[in-house]
Amino acid sequence: MAKSQYSSYEQTTTFLNKMALLLDGKQEVSLVLDLLRKGSHWAQYKMWLEQIEADWKKHGSFALALGSTLPTLEPFFTDFLRKAEQEGQLSQGLLQFVAFRETKESGHTEVMQKLLATLAYYLVLSVFFVIFLIFAGQYIVPNFVSISILSRVGSEPPITTQIVTLLSSGVSVSVLGLLVLVLIYIAARADLRDWVLKRSPLIGDLFLQLTRIQVLNTLAFLLRQGYPIHDALIMTANSLDYLPYQRHLQEAAHQVKQQQHPTTLDHFSSDNIGHLLLDVKNGELLADLLMRLARLDFYKLQQRVPVINTILMWLLSLLFGAFLLLILLGLYMPIFLLFSY
């Protein structure tokens, strides 16, 4: 996710939480919408409420109205909430869904995603700084060395050499420095962090491990709500945007339908969870087992990230120091030439 998506995820969860609490107080839906509209000073909330009310009146389903309006909702949200709505348990369904989003495991994975995105951003900055050091170093260091040697031996460089040196050092370093800052700004705006996050060999494995943990948590939640194993696998697959894992879950659902052990689920945990789904008949017990496995895998992931974070922070500090040094050197050289002339 990008930074704006993180913010939207949190805002959506808060919005659903407020709505669930008001509905749980036995308020009518229309009154809840009116209360939220009057109590909110945030324009985005008011836009959501207007769209929800319009869709609710049009389709006659509050669950469908929420699912079609709010961003960052899991794909199974509408189906799950419609089931609760039909059973007259709308507020309880909303509270259960919010609890799913705010469980310790789910909350931790959201925090971890932010941390991984930060690490990816460090990599983006490091790449730009390295590019700057390579190109700027080719101009600045040789010229600085040559001028220093000539000044010490008492040989005055020709005026053409001084002009070339002035341009190649001061102007070049200024332009390159500005270019690096522009690229950093573009990287932040274009969310290149997400691209690095999913493709960097250094962080890619952490990202996939985090995705596996989220798969286990989502499966556990759906099984706890009484969904059959086959349906829970399909709904979890639809909530992912990583195609290989989608295929693993779809294949697992097919195996379950054929009364076979879903062995492709073994990709999601160090334990052979594929045998659990058919051997354990109690959905609540199976959900607890999956959540325990997710928690163990999360603790393993937690131990790896701070080490990588520290390494990248030191690397970025060194590169940034070299960046500033070359900038200062490039500004010093023209001044040095003018005074020595």
Q: How far apart are CA 32 and CA 167, in angstroms?
A: 67
Q: Give the pLDDT score at 141.
A: 59
Q: Which of 8-17, 57-66, 306-315 has the highest mean pLDDT?
A: 57-66
d(CA 144, CA 149): 9
Q: Are 22 and 32 in contact (CB under 8 A)?
A: yes
**DSSP conformation class of 26:** T
Mean pLDDT of all residues in 127-132: 71
Distance CA(341)–CA(92), nearest Å, equals: 82
| pLDDT tier at 6, thresholds 50, 70, 90 | very low
Mean pLDDT, the chain, whole residue set: 72
Q: pTM for the full model?
A: 0.57
Q: Is the pLDDT of residue 264 over 70?
A: yes
Cα 102 to Cα 85: distance, rounded to the nearest angstrom = 21
Residue 157: closest CA among 339, 337, 329, 331: 337
pLDDT band at 48 (very low <50, low <70, confident <90, very high): confident
**Least confidently predicted of 106-110, 182-186, 307-311, 316-320:** 106-110
pLDDT (0 to 100) of residue 143: 60
Measured distance CA(104)–CA(294) in Å, rounded = 11
Q: How many CB atoms lie within 10 A of CB 9?
A: 17
Q: pLDDT tens digits for 199-232?
A: 666 666 777 778 888 888 888 888 888 888 888 8
What gap in Å lies between CA 14 and CA 77, rounded to an integer? Answer: 15
Q: What is the four-CA torsion angle of 167, 169, 174, 180, rounded to 10 degrees?
A: 130
Q: Is 34 exposed, middle or buried (0-12, 13-18, 19+ CB in 10 A)?
A: middle
Structure tokens at 97: 């869904």
Which residue, chain included where needed, has tokens 């050092």? 169
In this predicted structure, what is the pLDDT of residue 87? 85
The answer to whether 87 and 80 are in contact (CB under 8 A) is: no
The pLDDT score that the predictor gives to residue 170 is: 61
Residue from 48, 44, 206, 45 nearest 120 by CA: 206
Rounded (10°) CA dihedral 47, 51, 56, 58: 150
Domains of the chain: 3-102 (1.20.81), 103-341 (no CATH)
pLDDT in the model for residue 49: 85
- Burial (CB count <10 Å: 0-12, 13-18, 19+), residue 282: exposed
For residue range 172-182, what is the model confidence (pLDDT) as tens digits? 666 666 676 67
Q: Specify the range with the lowest mean pLDDT, choosing from 242-256, 282-296, 301-315.
A: 301-315
C-alpha 316/C-alpha 72 separation (Å) is 32
Residue 168 carries which DSSP code?
A: I
Q: Name 4's Cβ contacts closer than 8 Å, sequence gap at least 6.
A: none
pLDDT at 127 (0 to 100): 72
Measured distance CA(325)–CA(317) in Å, rounded: 12
Contacts of 78 (CB under 8 A, 6+ apart): 63, 64, 66, 67, 68
Q: What is the pLDDT of residue 281?
A: 64
Region 65-81 average pLDDT:
84
Q: Is the pLDDT of residue 79 over 60?
A: yes
